[in-house]
Structure 1
Amino acid sequence: MELLYLLCSIISTALISFTLSLLLPFRRLFPQFTAGDSTNSTALYEGTVWHERRRPVHHSFKYSVRYAFIDLDLALHPPPDHLSPKQARDIAQTNGPVFLLTIPPSVGYEQNPLSLYYCYDVEGSTTCLKKCIAEVTNTPWGERVQFLFNPNSDLVAKPLHVSPFMDMLGNWNIKTSAPGDNLVVNISVNHPKLGDYFTASLTANRISSSSVEHAIFFWLMPHKVAIWIYWHALKLWWKKVVFVQHPRYENPSYKKDATLRDRNLVCCQAFAVNTNNQQQTEQSSQEDRWFRWRDAKWPWC
């Protein structure tokens, strides 16, 4: 049944995207009838996503990607289905600007495996990156988890069934640089049996966006990401990597289990603070990491 849902979803997405793509030229002919791009609030990044799986079989790939880096406080048209700047500040307990790194929807389709909120603190005349919020969405279910992490480096118990070729055991080691002329995001997976068997990274450079129309710049970008996901899932299946059933069928309490595993991580740095240039960590037993899940979208629910 899920295979049928997937096929119907692909067909409907293709038809809608094709129709809306035909209308794109009208943005230039009739700009007064289209919403302008928020160039003052959005920076553009172009780079490469790289994945490498080392066990039980080796498999790696990379693809070009384009991201928007949006100042949520200045955006005239904030991206839908994401946190507001106030919500992000409340979660991160920061008082400065909030930026969202994301792949915007294109011609009626959204595919965003990872979005990041960069939450800054203002202390006097200094603005510094303090916390980040990760927003991970799986394919094809459209389930989502959001969690707070320390951008310098953090260890998070895996909270979402991201791939049908990975089980729920293991931890995500995640870190990111403060975006400037370039940005880097690194994620690795530490598994109790397979060790450090998976690594993913995003490296990107900021590009001039003064004369770039965003609808053209991001045209079919989400679709390209989806094609890479499905194509390499097929390759993993061909390499006979074990297919893992979604945990909701066998362990409905997997979200609670992830929270408990995260609490027990001895090197959790999600609530680290800097004092006299030394990093001090509050005990994870005093305050659990902030997680929030969203269930699967129709027709997967």
Structure 2
Amino acid sequence: MNAPDDASDRIHAGWLLTGRVVHERLRPARHAFTYPLFQVCCDLDRLDTLASWWFGVDRWRPFALAARDYGPRDGSALAPWMRARLADAAIPADGPIWLQTIPRLFGHAFNPVSFWYCYDRAGDLRALYADVRNTFGAHHGYLLSAPEHAAIGATTVLVCRKVFHVSPFCRVEGDYAFRVIQRGKMLAVRIDYHDAEGPLLRTALAMHAAPLTAGRAWSALARAPGNAANVLLRIHWQALRLWLKRVPFHGKTPRAHAPLPSHEARP
């Protein structure tokens, strides 16, 4: 989250995000769906301040974050790991790093993608890290920045080559185009996927942020009791629908193309 306009909001180390995910496939059969979703967005430098009887950091709680679910997946501290990657890429993101993700709910978690927002000290977004996991248990991260590592705005399109297998109904080829739109407490991420034939998939998350409190978290859980589990169930349900529509199935290990650098963008 970028620094909120209201100074009283800047004290919060965690936000509850509620909204929807929209996904559309354009060919060879048109296919679309929309689902409700809730996530958390947390300042990685202040995770310890979120620990409570109901929210845990690297320990079991009804709601929790576990470092082993992200980044290097070895349980090490996440903010230093990301800052080392930013330094290696010469990206001037010397400010807060926020993680947008589905929290563990009663010990269970599945995140198709978690987003890390890396800011500079002036509050400008300088990098986006898309932390992707597939249903086969593998994971990959795309670190993206604007040309010359300029500040990322609502019109900036961050492009990277697809090098990681996600869906058995897509090949490992083509490009992703990301856009991040932050307006006050509204946060949206749009991801368009293009293969050799042109636009293929469109995905968008549109979320509203509110300070992360026990009351808000339990209310969100009551409205969507299977939030994390439902993500995995819905992935398999939509896969069945695609199979019934005879969309070509490429399997678990489709042919991959040579990777290109992921630090690419276009204004």
TM bucket by the smaller chain?
0.7 to 0.9
Equivalent residue, structure 2, for 1:143: 138
TM-score w.r.t. length of structure 1: 0.67
**2-structure distance, mates of 1:220, 1:107:** 10
SS of the counterpart of 1:109?
coil
Equivalent residue, structure 2, for 1:74: 46
**1-structure distance, mates of 2:162, 2:97:** 25
Further displaced range: 232-241 or 169-178: 169-178
The reply on whether 1:154 has 2:163 as its aligned counterpart is: no
Q: Which runs of 5+ in 2 are unaligned?
A: 1-10, 49-56, 59-64, 72-77, 88-92, 146-151
SS of the counterpart of 1:154?
strand
**2-structure distance, mates of 1:101, 1:66:** 10
Paired residues of 2:162 and 2:172 also in contact (CA < 8 A):
yes
**2-structure distance, mates of 1:220, 1:179:** 29
Letter paired with 2:208: N
**2-structure distance, mates of 1:228, 1:89:** 34
Matched residue pairs, number? 218
Equivalent residue, structure 1, for 2:5: none
The reply on whether 1:90 has 2:84 as its aligned counterpart is: yes
Further displaced range: 204-213 or 223-232: 204-213
**Mapping of 1:55-204 within 5 angstroms?**
55-76=27-48, 77=57, 79=65, 80-81=67-68, 82-83=70-71, 84-93=78-87, 94-122=93-121, 126-139=122-135, 141-150=136-145, 151=152, 152-178=156-182, 180-193=184-197, 195-204=198-207
Q: Percent identity?
A: 28
Equivalent residue, structure 2, for 1:47: 19
TM-score w.r.t. length of structure 2: 0.75
Deviation of 1:179 after TM superposition, in Å, equals 6.8
**Mapping of 1:274-285 within 5 angstroms?**
none
SS of the counterpart of 1:225?
helix
**What RMSD, in angstroms, separates the aligned Cα atoms of the two structures?**
2.4
**1-structure distance, mates of 2:114, 2:176:** 15
SS of the counterpart of 1:269?
strand
Higher Rg of the two aligned structures: 1
SS of the counterpart of 2:81?
helix
Paired residues of 1:92 and 1:132 also in contact (CA < 8 A):
no
Deviation of 1:196 after TM superposition, in Å, equals 0.6
Runs (4 or more) in structure 1 with deviation over 6 Å come to none
